[in-house]
Every structure is written in C-alpha cells, then in structure tokens.
Structure 1
C-alpha cells in the first residue's frame, strides 16, 4: 500500500513537471505583437522555431492598436514582445517596456536604439512617393513632397491614417517641418489633406496604387520596391526635398510571462542570417550597419538618400495627440 502511495506521489510530481505553464523556466514559447506584414510574421515564426526551438505566437496588429492593447493589459500583460513598430511609438510607450541590452546592440547606430535599452532598432523605414505608370507619366510624377499640394492631385493620392500609422505621422510632421511648423505651414498641410484619400493601413497604399485606384501614394520604400522588383507597372520617387529614415524596432513587454524567450526573440530579430533573409525576401532595410544589401535589392544605400534638413521625428512626439486631433478636425471639415 505504501509503495502504491509512493508511486502515485511520484507520478503526480512528474505530471506537474511536464505541465509547467508559460512564463516559468523551461517554457518554450513567446507571444509577439507585430505591426509587420503577415508574410514577415510567418517567416519570423518559422525561422525562430528552427533557430531557437521556441514557438513564436505572432499576433499581427497595427502599431497604434498594439500600443493601446499593451496599455490596457499593463496590469496583466498577454504579450511578451512588441515588434515592427516605429521608434516614435516605442519612445511614447517606453514605460511599458522592460530594459534589455540585445547582444547585437553595438551593431545598431545609437540613433536607432534606446539609450536605456528598452527597445532596439531592427529595420529602417524610408517614406517615398509611388505612382501608377498607366495613370501618371514618369515626367509628370511628383518629385517633391510639396508637389502633393497641387490641386491636380485632388483625391488622387493614397495616404494612410496617421492615427494608425507612425510612418504616416512622420510624413505629416516632416512636411509640416519643411513648411516652417507655423500657422502658414498648417494652411499648406490643409491643402495636402484636401488632396489625399485616407486609407486605414499603410499596407493598403501600394496595393491601391498598383491596381490604379489611386494615381499616387505616400508609401514605404520596401513596399514600393517589392512591386517595382516584381515588374508591376509602378514607379517610386525619393523626394528631392528630402525624406527620413525612421527606425522600427522591438522591445520586451514589461511583466510579460516569458521574459527569457522574449530576450531570445529580440536578439533573433537582428540575427545576421535572419536579416539577410528578410532583405532578400521582404526588402526590409536593416538597422544593422554592417550588412551590405546593394547587390540583393533595388534600393540605394542610406548615404545616397537625401534626408530632410533639420528634421528630427521625435521633436514632435510630445505634441502627437494634439497634432492628430487637429488633423482629424481638418479632415472632418474639408472632406
């Protein structure tokens, strides 16, 4: 009888050991909130499983929505990592992130990582102009951001909602900066808003332009470059008045249930073999400064792209909600 009781006790202990819940040492999974396209999420999940033996549950969600979700869950976080959102969004929500110095941190320019290691840059987003070649001749395509104020583009320009897209917010503040960041500049930005049609997600812009639903789009470099490389009837323009290189990054959600797996995933995001695969398959410009992709994708080195003089995206961070409210009020009045 005692032997039977001892056997039962041992079996219960073994059962408990094999049923360790997520978040305890030995847990082999991580939940990632991602603003990336599903194709990249799928690639990352598969490659991370192979590299680390850890299952990545990657939840695709727009960056603005992801941050609202994290804040709503802060007392009981359901995610472990935030990935694929802008530097601006990460800085604005840094209180939700746990410090961790990635092993690849020193390969990232200090401009593209948090000095307190709450997030690290993974790739760089460059805003560009994209146009449909069937609707716009190459010589007539807009060459500058200021060209988008011309009434001839009214309702012909696709622009993603800056409340949902940090990239679109950066474009808006970059143009506001170029025009002087004063009331006269806001008048010009009203003319810009009058010409655009707002779509809800940045991924919709290149698709809409390629289909001919819009003649021109304010797009992300990598999205447009993929269409160009595939032979689609579209062109892309690096604006002559300058653009920006905005970091997207990854950070560990404070209080998440799988902190060790989260650290491994953040490191993996900048792993050399993974980044090279992402460049080749997804055209995503890496934040790592030691990777040469000039022979892989049709995108120039960052050093050859003119940046907007004097523009610093984080200068507008404190006034983000105020700017978004004013944009919304203008759209309600003029549309």
Structure 2
C-alpha cells in the first residue's frame, strides 16, 4: 500500500505537482483518482487508459489510505474525487456510504469474495502481510517465525512497523495479531518495535540496511529483491491473512460516466497484467497468474480476515494502539 504524501497530476501532456488540499482543476472530460498505489503503477494505468480514452484527462492525487479516506469524508457533501484506488477492503467497509454501487463490465472475471456484495468496490490485488528481512543484518535462521516471536527480547529495537493509523497494511497487521493473541502480546510487540509514518518506509529502510526486520506486504519484498536488495520474505507460521486491496467509485463524484470507464479499465485483464508485472502483486482476477517468485498460497498458513469486523473495530483498536504507543 502506498502511503507517500506526494501529490502528482497526470494529464495527456505531462506530470506535475499539485498540493494535497488543492481543488482539482477540471477539464471538459476528466476523471479524478485518489490513489494509494505506487506512482509507477498509477502512471502505467493513466497512460494505458488514455490511449483507450484519448478525450479524457486523468487527474491523480496520491496519498496514504487513511489520509485519502479522511479527505473523501471531508468532501462528503461536495465530492471532488471520482475514484478511490488501492486501499485495503476494510478501508471501504468502514464507510460504504461514501461509495457508489456499480456492476463493472469485468465483474465476471472476479471471485465473488473479491467483490463487495452490493458492488461498492472490486478487488484490485490480494496479498499477505509478511516479515521482510535484510539477510546481511539477520540470517534467516535467526528471524522470528511467528507474530508472537516479535515479543522476544532479542528483537527489541530490530523490528520496524508503520503506524496503523496512517497505513492500511499496518492496520491489517495490527488486526491480525489482535485476532490471534489479543492486547497482551500486541502491547509487548509495540514496546519492542520502532514505528515509521508510512508503509513505504517500513520496507525501504530494511532494504537499505537501516534495521534488520520489518512488517510489510509480500509484493514489497519481491520488488526490493528485483532491485537487487538483500531481502527475503518470512511468512508467519501462526498464519497470515489474504487481504484484498480494492477500487471504487466515489458516490456523487463530479464525473460519474468517466469514473465508470476508469473502473472498467482498472478491472480489466490488461490493467491487472500491469499490476502483476510492475508491482509484483497477486491479481484479484481469476484469469491473471501471480508474479513469478511469490510463495504459492498452498505453502502458506492462511487465517481468515473479516473486513467488515475489521472496519467496525478500527476506531477502537487505533485508540487503544495510541494508548500503548504513548507509553514507549
């Protein structure tokens, strides 16, 4: 999940900077996308979509899942965006009224579990939360093997996590640990860990060798390995959930017809093949193979993850996290 606070504007002609709170500048035919995916993948989406829709300008405002949802809530009575792209499904489930029902032309290509029952959102990718290990700093035989291992004294100061209030993937990690072990274990993990403001830093700092171990989405490890970094993924043996990242049309957005065309493109096989090749993610489509190098699902202990209950519990769990974090 991308949590970089950069904002960029993509048009047919150029990419430029725009302040996060600036009012989008509309063209005659525009679609405004609030994006939590990587800049590289988003630009590939924009370029491919505009080749198919040369009369439509795509304006992209990038940020973390939490800040983008906050913006959409603030704009509820006067929406300025058309699409929310890339957050975990529980981000959408936390306030489904913000999003419009739309049965995409590509809906049949998705497993029903990857599509919200009222078609408020569709799956983009699926991924597991894992440990990313810098093998130059920590040999694989010395890594934690389970979430609970993170409480061990030998890992104090050696574990990097993103703040779950600012990162959708970090909240998924928090919620999974709480489901398995409750706050007694989570409090000890918080005491052992170092926290950063974005999920991007939680894997990039490991790849750079600043700290041995981090918690991240599996595709971030594969991307880092492709860049030549000495990292490996460790899947927790006590289980990790297959999380759906999704996309949706914002209710009452300014460009509803362009939004439908963009969602149909994002749900297309062409877009999902870009997602696999560029971001190394597992596609939520049934007809797109996962990227080479990812551990097969059959070799992973998978635990359930209820996005609706995660969304319902989020405020309470984040408040409790803040209490523990303030004691560090």
User: What is the TM-score normalised by the length of structure 1?
Assistant: 0.87
SS in 2 for 1:203: helix
| 8 Å contact kept, 1:30–1:258 | yes
Q: Which residue of 1 aligns with 2:220?
A: 223
Q: Distance in 2 between matches of 1:316 and 1:67?
A: 16
What is the aligned counterpart of 1:301 among 296, 321, 324? 296
Q: Which residue in the other structure is 2:75 paired with?
A: 73
Q: Which residue in 1 is equivalent to 2:323?
A: 329
Instruction: Look up the SS of the partner of 2:120 in the other structure.
Output: coil
Q: Shift of residue 311 of structure 1?
A: 4.3
Please give the alpha-carbon distance, in whole angstroms, between the structure 2 residues aligned to 1:200 and 1:168. Answer: 10
Cα distance change on mapping 1:288 and 1:304 into 2, 3 Å: farther
Query: Any stretches of 5+ residues in structure 2 without a counterpart?
Result: 1-24
Partner of 1:267: 264
1:162-173 equivalent positions in 2, closer than 5 A: 162-173=164-175
What's the counterpart of residue 36 of structure 2?
35
User: Counterparts of 2:95 and 2:325 in 1: how far apart (Å)?
Assistant: 27
Deviation at 1:82, TM superposition (A): 0.6
Aligned to 1:153: 155
RMSD over equivalenced CA pairs, Å? 1.6
Q: How many residues align?
A: 303
Deviation track 1:24-82 (CA, whole Å, cap 9, x = no partner) reads xxx43200001112112211111111122222111101111111101111111110111
The question of whether the paired residues in 2 share the 8 Å contact of 1:280 and 1:297 is answered with: no
TM-score by length of 2: 0.88
Query: Counterparts of 1:1-335 in structure 2 under 5 Å?
Result: 27-53=28-54, 54-179=56-181, 185-293=182-290, 296-308=291-303, 310-333=304-327, 335=328
Structure 1 residue ranges without an equivalent (≥5): 1-20, 180-184
> Residues 108-150 of structure 1, C-alpha deviation per residue, up to 9 Å, x if partnerless?
2222211111111111131011111111011111221111111
Bigger radius of gyration among the two: 1
C-alpha separation in 1, matches of 2:269 and 2:114: 17
